[in-house]
A = this chain, B = another copy of it.
Amino acid sequence: MWETFVMTKISPSQHSIINDARITTFGRLIEVVARLDSTFGSKLDEPEAFPKTWFEIMLRLARSENQQLKMSELAEQVALTTGGITRLIDRMTTAGLAERLADPSDRRVQYAHITQLGVDQLLKVCPIHAADLQREVYDRLSASEVKVLDAILDKLR
Protein backbone atom coordinates (compact mmCIF):
# COMPACT_ATOMS: atom_id res chain seq x y z
CA MET A 1 0.00 0.00 0.00
CA TRP A 2 1.33 3.43 -0.91
CA GLU A 3 1.63 6.09 1.75
CA THR A 4 -0.80 8.95 1.70
CA PHE A 5 1.20 11.13 4.10
CA VAL A 6 4.90 11.50 4.57
CA MET A 7 5.69 10.28 8.09
CA THR A 8 8.85 10.53 10.09
CA LYS A 9 11.26 7.93 8.80
CA ILE A 10 13.95 6.10 10.66
CA SER A 11 16.68 4.36 8.73
CA PRO A 12 18.08 0.94 9.65
CA SER A 13 21.26 2.44 11.07
CA GLN A 14 19.24 4.85 13.15
CA HIS A 15 17.05 1.97 14.20
CA SER A 16 19.98 0.26 15.86
CA ILE A 17 20.80 3.41 17.81
CA ILE A 18 17.27 3.78 19.12
CA ASN A 19 16.96 0.09 19.97
CA ASP A 20 20.14 -0.15 22.03
CA ALA A 21 19.67 -3.15 24.33
CA ARG A 22 21.23 -1.35 27.28
CA ILE A 23 18.70 1.47 27.04
CA THR A 24 15.85 -1.00 26.63
CA THR A 25 16.76 -3.03 29.69
CA PHE A 26 17.28 0.02 31.86
CA GLY A 27 13.99 1.48 30.66
CA ARG A 28 12.22 -1.72 31.60
CA LEU A 29 13.85 -1.56 35.03
CA ILE A 30 12.54 1.96 35.59
CA GLU A 31 9.11 0.96 34.33
CA VAL A 32 8.76 -2.20 36.41
CA VAL A 33 9.90 -0.49 39.57
CA ALA A 34 7.59 2.48 39.00
CA ARG A 35 4.66 0.18 38.39
CA LEU A 36 5.29 -1.93 41.46
CA ASP A 37 5.82 1.16 43.56
CA SER A 38 2.54 2.77 42.54
CA THR A 39 0.73 -0.55 43.04
CA PHE A 40 1.74 -0.64 46.66
CA GLY A 41 0.95 3.01 47.14
CA SER A 42 -2.72 2.44 46.47
CA LYS A 43 -2.62 -0.82 48.39
CA LEU A 44 -2.46 0.96 51.73
CA ASP A 45 -6.08 2.09 51.66
CA GLU A 46 -6.61 1.46 55.33
CA PRO A 47 -8.37 4.03 57.49
CA GLU A 48 -5.05 5.45 58.70
CA ALA A 49 -3.43 5.29 55.26
CA PHE A 50 -0.34 7.30 54.41
CA PRO A 51 1.75 7.76 51.27
CA LYS A 52 4.59 5.38 50.50
CA THR A 53 7.09 8.20 50.99
CA TRP A 54 6.00 8.41 54.60
CA PHE A 55 6.40 4.69 54.99
CA GLU A 56 9.95 4.90 53.71
CA ILE A 57 10.75 7.76 56.09
CA MET A 58 9.25 6.02 59.10
CA LEU A 59 11.05 2.80 58.29
CA ARG A 60 14.41 4.55 58.11
CA LEU A 61 13.82 6.45 61.32
CA ALA A 62 12.66 3.34 63.18
CA ARG A 63 15.76 1.46 62.06
CA SER A 64 18.15 4.21 63.06
CA GLU A 65 19.96 4.87 66.30
CA ASN A 66 17.48 6.40 68.78
CA GLN A 67 14.85 6.27 66.04
CA GLN A 68 16.08 9.55 64.60
CA LEU A 69 18.15 10.99 61.77
CA LYS A 70 19.46 14.43 60.88
CA MET A 71 17.25 16.19 58.35
CA SER A 72 20.15 16.29 55.90
CA GLU A 73 20.98 12.60 56.37
CA LEU A 74 17.35 11.70 55.82
CA ALA A 75 17.20 13.81 52.67
CA GLU A 76 20.26 12.05 51.30
CA GLN A 77 18.92 8.60 52.10
CA VAL A 78 15.56 9.05 50.41
CA ALA A 79 16.99 11.07 47.50
CA LEU A 80 15.12 14.31 48.23
CA THR A 81 16.41 17.86 48.63
CA THR A 82 16.68 19.31 52.12
CA GLY A 83 13.87 21.67 51.23
CA GLY A 84 11.68 18.75 50.30
CA ILE A 85 12.44 16.96 53.55
CA THR A 86 11.71 20.03 55.62
CA ARG A 87 8.14 20.18 54.41
CA LEU A 88 7.68 16.42 54.37
CA ILE A 89 8.56 16.26 58.05
CA ASP A 90 6.26 19.24 58.59
CA ARG A 91 3.36 17.20 57.23
CA MET A 92 4.28 14.08 59.17
CA THR A 93 4.58 16.17 62.30
CA THR A 94 1.09 17.56 61.74
CA ALA A 95 -0.11 13.97 61.35
CA GLY A 96 1.56 13.09 64.64
CA LEU A 97 3.89 10.53 63.09
CA ALA A 98 7.17 12.44 63.43
CA GLU A 99 8.64 15.25 65.48
CA ARG A 100 11.73 17.45 65.47
CA LEU A 101 14.40 17.17 68.14
CA ALA A 102 17.21 19.66 68.62
CA ASP A 103 20.86 18.64 68.86
CA PRO A 104 22.31 20.10 72.08
CA SER A 105 25.86 19.93 70.77
CA ASP A 106 25.19 21.73 67.47
CA ARG A 107 22.25 24.04 67.33
CA ARG A 108 22.25 24.08 63.55
CA VAL A 109 21.02 20.51 63.24
CA GLN A 110 17.52 19.19 63.71
CA TYR A 111 16.72 15.52 64.12
CA ALA A 112 13.64 13.96 62.62
CA HIS A 113 12.33 11.49 65.20
CA ILE A 114 9.53 8.98 64.80
CA THR A 115 6.80 9.24 67.44
CA GLN A 116 5.21 6.38 69.33
CA LEU A 117 2.16 6.75 67.09
CA GLY A 118 4.48 6.53 64.11
CA VAL A 119 6.00 3.30 65.40
CA ASP A 120 2.54 1.87 66.03
CA GLN A 121 1.39 2.69 62.52
CA LEU A 122 4.58 1.34 61.03
CA LEU A 123 4.22 -1.95 62.89
CA LYS A 124 0.70 -2.24 61.57
CA VAL A 125 1.66 -1.55 57.96
CA CYS A 126 4.90 -3.56 57.67
CA PRO A 127 3.25 -7.01 57.61
CA ILE A 128 0.76 -5.81 55.00
CA HIS A 129 3.54 -4.46 52.82
CA ALA A 130 5.60 -7.62 53.30
CA ALA A 131 2.66 -9.76 52.21
CA ASP A 132 2.13 -7.59 49.15
CA LEU A 133 5.80 -7.92 48.26
CA GLN A 134 5.68 -11.65 48.77
CA ARG A 135 2.77 -11.99 46.38
CA GLU A 136 3.80 -9.44 43.73
CA VAL A 137 7.56 -9.99 43.75
CA TYR A 138 9.02 -12.84 45.71
CA ASP A 139 6.53 -15.52 44.73
CA ARG A 140 7.46 -14.82 41.13
CA LEU A 141 11.20 -15.13 41.57
CA SER A 142 13.40 -18.08 42.42
CA ALA A 143 15.66 -17.96 45.44
CA SER A 144 18.72 -17.67 43.26
CA GLU A 145 17.23 -14.78 41.33
CA VAL A 146 16.61 -12.90 44.56
CA LYS A 147 20.19 -13.62 45.54
CA VAL A 148 21.51 -12.22 42.27
CA LEU A 149 19.23 -9.21 42.58
CA ASP A 150 20.71 -8.48 45.97
CA ALA A 151 24.20 -8.74 44.56
CA ILE A 152 23.32 -6.43 41.70
CA LEU A 153 21.97 -3.83 44.11
CA ASP A 154 25.17 -4.02 46.12
CA LYS A 155 27.23 -3.32 43.02
CA LEU A 156 25.05 -0.44 41.88
CA ARG A 157 24.76 1.18 45.27
A36 contacts B by Cβ under 8 Å: yes
Contact yes or no, A8 B157, CB < 8 A: no
Collect the chain B residues with CB atoms within 8 Å of residue A37's CB: 30
Chain copies in the assembly? 2
Main secondary structure of the interface of A (DSSP, over half): helix
A109 contacts B by Cβ under 8 Å: no
Collect the chain B residues with CB atoms within 8 Å of residue A38's CB: 79
Contact yes or no, A29 B33, CB < 8 A: yes
Contact yes or no, B113 A8, CB < 8 A: yes
Given contacts A22-B134, A122-B18, whether A33 and B30 have CB atoms under 8 Å apart is yes
Bound CA span A113–B156, Å: 35
